[in-house]
Chain A
């Protein structure tokens, strides 16, 4: 039986992660990147669920059965973005070649000083966006997220950059979204991921790569309740040193009155999100980092 992402045990031993971090920081990115291939091989052999999820996703995307080397490339791309987090969090942006698409839209929203939501996905690296916003652009930013997933890795990354770590508003408490509202009222950007469903969350349905699945209703509901502008933001890894930052404006969520009206508005908004995700997934296929049975619900 397949497990949801929040039930999965953390992959990779602390020793292995420690070695990679040491190489990444002391010896450098080119050498650390050589280690990504044996790591990819290890996951390809041992992580059967991730392998199956990758194959399923690539098969849906391409419309024909995926080859093992495509699965390998997919896992390699994921491990490369995790390695690069080390550099993003320590502010070493000079290693990279960033291409921006739609940066003006973010600047326009920030100039209005009324706050904006940034909705991302596990498509590409959300961490690159967070680090660029906080470290690179000094944007006042908070991120709504569940905190105890991937604990060991989270602790390590938190130590690398306490400022980025401090920008988290933990989800799950009654006051989580009150904190988000207060941040928006101060003109801050509040980021969140819109593609993964957690327990005890309101859900909606959306079609993604030809099949329906469950999406969290939270981003659409929050945008509707607070009536703030929403940007879709993705940091796609394009190989080598290149990351493409894509920013686009999401349609406004109408303020609704009845429950039925709201359900329809949430579903339409979320479908727009899913359709745009599909667009970017087709543009950069190896950036989809949901390695579990995404269409199970």
Chain B
């Protein structure tokens, strides 16, 4: 299994907490696997809740008109990289 960076572990925990994924552990989330549909099976309500949790924890907003959204939400690794670039706190 691929190693998670400290931030990736933190974001994985945030996903689990924000979405009440009681039966998922940080170790279960593959860093390169899709978060939506096939992978973790998240949907658009989950995306919204996750975006709200990210803005609370890291102090910046994910926007619907960001043309990189498909990339940003594509995996834990991509999402963590985006947070790393844009975080205000």
Contact = CB atoms under 8 A, between A and B. Distances in A.
B32 interface: no
Interface stretch (A48-56, A104-112, A172-180): A172-180
Interface string B39-53: 000111101110110
A201 interface: yes
Interface stretch (A15-23, A218-226, A268-276): A218-226
B63 A174 contact: no
B73 interface: yes
B63 A178 contact: yes
B62 interface: yes
Interface string B52-89: 10000000001111100110010000000000000000
A226 B44 CA distance: 13
A7 interface: no
A259 B19 CA distance: 9
Contacts of B64: 175-176, 178-179, 181-182
A258 interface: yes
B45 A174 contact: no
Given A179-B64, A182-B63, A174 B22 contact: no
A186 to B, nearest CB: 12
B45 A177 contact: yes
A171 B44 contact: yes
A225 B63 contact: no
Contacts of B20: 258-259, 262
B45 A225 contact: yes
Contact of B47 (A178, A201, A217): A178
Contacts of A222: 45, 48
Contacts of B52: 225
Given A174-B70, A259-B20, A202 B45 contact: yes
Contacts of B37: 200
Most buried by B among A178, A258, A262: A178
Contacts of A202: 43, 45
A222 B64 CA distance: 16
A171 B45 CA distance: 11
26 contacts: A172-B44, A174-B36, A174-B69, A175-B47, A175-B64, A176-B64, A177-B47, A177-B48, A178-B47, A178-B48, A178-B51, A178-B62, A178-B64, A180-B48, A181-B48, A181-B64, A200-B37, A200-B43, A201-B43, A218-B45, A221-B45, A222-B48, A258-B20, A259-B20, A259-B22, A262-B20
Interface of B: 20, 22, 36-37, 42-45, 47-49, 51-52, 62-66, 69-70, 73
List 6 tightest A-B contacts by C-beta distance, closest first.
A179-B64, A178-B64, A177-B48, A174-B47, A174-B73, A175-B64
